[in-house]
Amino acid sequence: MTAAELASGAAALCDTATVYRSLHFLEEHGLADSFVLYCSAHGTERYYVSHNAVHRHWFHCEVCHKFIDMGSCTIAPMLGEVERKTGVLIHTHTLYTTGICPQCQEECQTTAKLN
């Protein structure tokens, strides 16, 4: 969810600035992950993911704009390889993918058949 969505949901409890401050606090203390994603419908937004111990990667559907959890990180070994090769020390990484979710693919096919 975006900070703006969270702010509108929490509007009764606190103001937008408080929400942003809290999110920033969570992120600084490693309790939340955030990433910036550009989408034709939402523009550029920063998304926050709570840190339930495991770092995860996300898929964003370009058609229905929902997020799909791609599961826990699978590229850590690859990053280890990069560290060995280049000598850099990687602390964090963000990875999200965009495309079309299974439901939207199905809908596309159904529409194509009808036409």
The residues binding Zn ion (CB under 5 A) are 39, 41-42, 61, 63-65, 73, 101, 104
Q: Which is nearer to Zn ion, 49 or 101 (CB)?
A: 101
Minimum distance, C-beta of residue 1 to Zn ion, in the bound complex (Å): 12
Minimum distance, C-beta of residue 78 to Zn ion, in the bound complex (Å): 10
Q: Which is nearer to Zn ion, 21 or 65 (CB)?
A: 65
Sheet holding 96-99, edge to edge: 67-72, 56-61, 96-99
**What is the Cα gyration radius of the chain?**
18
Minimum distance, C-beta of residue 56 to Zn ion, in the bound complex (Å): 7
DSSP annotation of 10: T
Cα–Cα–Cα angle for 68, 96, 7, rounded to 5 degrees: 70
In this structure, are residues 35 and 47 in contact, taking their beta carbons and an 8 Å threshold? Answer: yes
Q: Which is nearer to Zn ion, 13 or 89 (CB)?
A: 89
Minimum distance, C-beta of residue 33 to Zn ion, in the bound complex (Å): 9
Q: Is 48 helix (H, G, I), strand (E, B) or coil?
A: strand
Q: Which is nearer to Zn ion, 11 or 95 (CB)?
A: 95
